[in-house]
């Protein structure tokens, strides 16, 4: 299972964050990456500064023949298309695409797999649980649901957004 997380809290040339995520999913097939399943989108409070605009987050399962390094480069190219500026960590952004898991591979070189902070991020785990309830973390062996249950109660509340149907299988 190849899993990505998508998010953003600034508008891009195509519209607000949810529209940008949908357009980014539509761009993936041009690069040999097929979205197989996409979660609902969720609104989440900005972190670390809650005064920043709220984020919109989603997760997707992918099919591709690309190796992890090539896939990561392709995902970053899609981020760039939608105006991603790489600056300080956790800064507001138009689009962020993280490679969470690539068929259970565990490695410490870039891209680190599985994503090293995914187990502590409800905005990643909740959408992932929606589309892959049987997925297990390649290191801990825990499901997304078990990882969510281990998070502080205050961090588990996300707001599910109405569907945006701008991507196609």
Q: Which residues of 85-109 are buried (b: 16+ CB within 10 A; e: fewer)?
A: eeeeeeeebbbbbbbbbbeeeeeee
Yes or no: say if 35 and 61 are a contact pair by the CB < 8 Å rule: yes
Residue 136 annotated to the active site? no
Q: Which of 13, 96, 168, 169 is catalytic?
A: 96
Yes or no: say if 84 and 27 are a contact pair by the CB < 8 Å rule: no
Q: Which of 51, 93, 156, 169 is catalytic?
A: 93
Q: Which of 31, 34, 80, 84 is catalytic?
A: 84
Q: Which of 13, 86, 98, 121 is catalytic?
A: 98
Residue 84 annotated to the active site? yes
For residue 42, count other CB atoms closer than 10 A to its CB.
23
Q: What is d(CA 17, CA 68) in angstroms, rounded to the nearest whole number?
A: 26
Give the catalytic positions in this structure.
84, 93, 96, 98
């Amino acid at each position: 299972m190849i899993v990505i997380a998508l998010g953003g809290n600034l508008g891009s040339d195509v519209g607000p964050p949810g529209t940008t995520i949908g357009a980014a999913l539509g761009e993936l097939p041009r690069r040999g990456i097929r979205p197989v399943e996409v979660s609902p989108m969720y609104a989440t409070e900005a972190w670390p500064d809650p005064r920043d605009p709220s984020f919109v987050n989603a997760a997707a399962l992918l099919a591709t023949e690309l190796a992890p390094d090539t896939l990561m480069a392709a995902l970053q190219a899609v981020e760039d298309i939608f105006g991603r500026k790489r600056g300080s960590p956790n800064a507001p952004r138009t689009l962020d695409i993280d490679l969470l898991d690539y068929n259970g591979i565990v490695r410490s070189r870039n891209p680190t797999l599985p994503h090293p902070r995914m187990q502590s991020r409800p905005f990643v785990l909740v959408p992932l649980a929606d589309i892959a309830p049987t997925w297990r973390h390649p290191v801990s062996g825990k499901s997304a649901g078990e990882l969510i249950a281990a998070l502080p109660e205050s961090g588990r509340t996300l707001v599910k957004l109405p569907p945006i149907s701008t991507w196609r299988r």
